[in-house]
Structure 1
Amino acid sequence: MSGCMWHKKNEMMKKYHDNEWCKPSYDDKYIFEMLSLEGAQAGLSWNTVLCKREEYKKAFHDFDIFYCSGLSDEEIEEIRENYKVIKNILKLKSVRNNAIEILKIKEEFGSFSNYLWQYIEFKPIINSWENESDMPTQTELSQKISKDLKRRQFKFVGPVIIYSFLQAIGMVDDHMVSCKYHSLNK
């Protein structure tokens, strides 16, 4: 099996592909982490973000949603100055903003996971791509979720970011059908 090729760049990308990408997660903290990292990626490569992932975890207390929701502007500025994260202040402030909005969603749906997974009736979408070039950058689902998240005041949640996010948390399995990690090959 030839499998997915996008992760062949380095060992860290391969580890992410093999152990996390397209694996269903229902853990709000992990889902928040992926939303934050996907937002940080806007305009950059995933490799760049993965290289900074440990610094993000330190800076944002392992993506503790309550902690992040209470960050002050001064604390966010300290994160920008003292951690090896992407220095875009709007992306850093979006972590706090999105944590606040997730807490509101948790009140309404019980969890952020429930809110997201109900869009697909709690069952992953399994695609059967032969070539990576066939994989879309956004779909009707990512557009729908993006629109609702924006309505709820989330930041850095455009339909392309959301599609990558859906892959990251396993709501969508976009492994190539020839990849040993594709759901149908397990």
Structure 2
Amino acid sequence: MQSKFVIATLCTLFFSFSTFSQEDKDEKEKDRKYTLKTEEITVEAASVESKPFDPLSPSTAAFYSAVLPGLGQAYNKKYWKIPIIYAALGTSIYFYIDNNNEYHRYRDAYKRRLAGFKDDEFYGRVTDDGLRNAQKQLNKNREISILVTIGIYALNIIDANVDAHLLQYNVDDNLSLRPHYKINEFDYKSSDVGLTLNFQF
């Protein structure tokens, strides 16, 4: 009977110690999770010093480009665009001058034929109809060259205006993107990863 009592006492003590050790482990696990819960990883957007806003800057850049193509780009400090603008304008002007000269050559020859002369440079090679068709085609090419030149000139002004607007675009901490990691407060076995977009007016 005494041995049964000793065995029962030992079993009770063993189960008690095992329960205490389990509770101790659970407490340590909760403490670890609470510690993790308080740690939050955030990546702050780098603060950019905002420049003073000048509402007249876009109109000034557009005016400069209207006065002299490329001057608005120089005002915006986009110097690499200036050679592109002049190359495009130079090409379109070259084609206009070339088509204009060719048009006058065929026109002068056609006029001489109408006056009864047979000594023009195209005589024997190009018929009267050929001279008329050449004048129509060259005149069309000349008009297209003018339109392209005007279009490039207008694009130069628009580009300077838009660039001046974009240079004043305000980027600061009012607009930020923040990734974060957080232990779930209700279910400690799971965690949340998120991405927060903050925009302050």
Smaller-chain TM-score bracket? under 0.3
Q: Which of the two has greater strand per residue?
A: 2
Give the TM-score normalised by structure 1. 0.21
